[in-house]
Amino acid sequence: MSLTPHQEDLGVLRFITAGSVDDGKSTLIGRLLYDSKSVLTDQLSALARAKHKRTAGEDIDFSLLTDGLEAEREQGITIDVAYRYFTTARRKFIIADTPGHEQYTRNMVTGASTAHAAIVLVDATRVTEVGGRTELLAQTKRHSAIVKLLGLQHVIVAINKMDLVDYSETTFDSIRAAYLELAQLLGLEGVRFVPVSALKGDNIVYASERMPWYQDEPLLDLLEALPVAQSGGELRFPVQLVARQDGSHADDFRGYMGRVESGSVRVGQALRVLPAGRSASVAEIVGPRGLLEEAFAGQCVTIRLTEDVDVSRGDTFVAAESALAPSRKLSADVCWFDEDALTPQRKYLLKQATSTVYVKIGSVDTVLDVSTLLHGTDKTTLAMNDIGRVQLSLQKPVAADTYDENPATGAFVLIDEATHHTVAAGMIRALAA
């Protein structure tokens, strides 16, 4: 795993583990950390003495490395999203271990929202044969559908617990064929497959000698080589805070703080401030360490304008030549989080970028049936963990893109004004004035 002269640091990769409950997601991450020498000695000693350990003798229960909540350890299931960090010679990784249980699908969406890649686990012992065809679990289908909706750049299917099926190539091939059929229905492209045993360590960090029929790379090698698309596109700078200094003096400083979500901004550039459409130019860009000539996607900066225009939190700076227009009507795919079902015609709060506006859900057009992967039109509401296409009417316009064009400004959450619960997460698919 050493860095050769022909290799380069590929930066940070954020990935999640997804799939059904008990597929071995936490164990796989624990094994990945252990075999890559990312676990401290005192952590290993504590794991060996853990009272909720589910392995025999001195064997390590790797799932305990990520299942940090006491309730998770007692029940043997993942409830909350656990983030872990580790580094190899080639790149840095941020892992989100997400729940597999249907009740916690909303937590999986949270973990996946910032990921570049997904490892979808399939338990080789839990697939079924129906009419001569291999049938995947419903939650595997649900999580795969969410991965597609969120537009993750890479999908790796880890077919786990191969040690319990005698490392059968036939079993691997049948599951691979079933998932490829699912991927075609969902529109997932470029899916990679790896047969693994998270418990035994086969094809996690090191190639397995027990599966000589698998000639491709182990899981970590695949993760190290995945390319991550850089943020590009047009400038989007949602204003988070208006910074004032010495407001009673002639040299009053007024700066607009935020993060460059896409594109870049430079001193002297002509801008439009949306949704109002006012024009201005950049007088100064202040970074954490002083003045900058230009700021790029991902950087948090303060922008001072040459003109004294009305700007507040929720406004967005775009390039003067941008064709982006404010929108008051949205068509969006929504994953419903709340125990109380969606109520059409009821007002919610929509938080998109730094904007928070009232929104009314006009209609539920379709709801995804996880079993058949068909979009039904007979339901008029969304229950907890449902995924559907809805129409939204906003009280005032926002500067937004479709999710496919720009995830940072094309995503939103819905908040119940009365309870302050986050009731849904959504991806904008179409906009109208």
The three-class DSSP label of residue 222 is helix
What is the pLDDT, as a whole number, of residue 75?
A: 46
State how far the Cα of 110 lies from the Cα of 131, in Å rounded to an integer: 36
State how far the Cα of 67 lies from the Cα of 25, in Å rounded to an integer: 10
Tens of pLDDT, residue by residue over 368-413, are 887 677 777 778 899 988 889 999 999 999 999 999 999 999 999 9
Answer whether residue 222 shows pLDDT above 70.
yes
In a domain, 423, yes or no: yes
Instruction: Among 161-165, 244-248, 337-341, name the one with the lowest average pLDDT.
Output: 244-248
In a domain, 19, yes or no: yes
Tens of pLDDT, residue by residue over 297-322, are 989 999 999 998 999 999 999 999 99
Q: When comparing pLDDT for 129 and 406, which is higher?
A: 406
pLDDT band at 3 (very low <50, low <70, confident <90, very high): very low
Q: What DSSP assignment string belongs to 96-134?
A: EE---SGGGHHHHHHHHTT-SEEEEEEETTS-EEETTEE
* CATH (domain of 292): 2.40.30.10
Answer whether residue 32 shows pLDDT above 70.
yes
The helix (H) or strand (E) run that includes residue 409 is helix 407-410
Do 256 and 339 belong together in one domain?
no
Mean pLDDT of 146-156: 91
Among the candidates 225, 248, 271, a domain finishes at 225
Mean pLDDT of 186-203: 94
Q: What domain range includes position 378?
A: 327-432
Do 16 and 122 belong together in one domain?
yes
Alpha carbon 390 to chain centroid, angstroms: 21
pLDDT band at 113 (very low <50, low <70, confident <90, very high): confident
Do 113 and 31 belong together in one domain?
yes
pLDDT above 90 covers what percent of the chain?
56
Do 282 and 398 belong together in one domain?
no
Q: Tell which residue, 259, 187, 266, 194, has the closest CA to residue 226.
A: 194
Count of CA atoms in the C-beta half-sphere (13 A) of 176: 16
pLDDT band at 357 (very low <50, low <70, confident <90, very high): very high
Q: When comparing pLDDT for 161 and 231, which is higher?
A: 161
Torsion angle, alpha carbons of 61, 66, 67, 69, to 10 = 130
State how far the Cα of 148 lies from the Cα of 155, in Å rounded to an integer: 9
Do 314 and 333 belong together in one domain?
no
Do 221 and 246 belong together in one domain?
no
Residue with tokens 């000589």: 212
Q: Is the dihedral of CA 236, 241, 242, 246 positive or negative?
A: negative
Q: What are phi and psi of 415, to 5 degrees?
A: -125, 135
> What is the amino acid identity at position 215?
Q
Number of domains in the chain: 3
Do 72 and 176 belong together in one domain?
yes
pLDDT band at 41 (very low <50, low <70, confident <90, very high): low
State how far the Cα of 377 lies from the Cα of 359, in Å rounded to an integer: 22
Do 191 and 246 belong together in one domain?
no
Do 337 and 253 belong together in one domain?
no
* CATH (domain of 93): 3.40.50.300
State how far the Cα of 193 lies from the Cα of 201, in Å rounded to an integer: 16
Do 186 and 283 belong together in one domain?
no
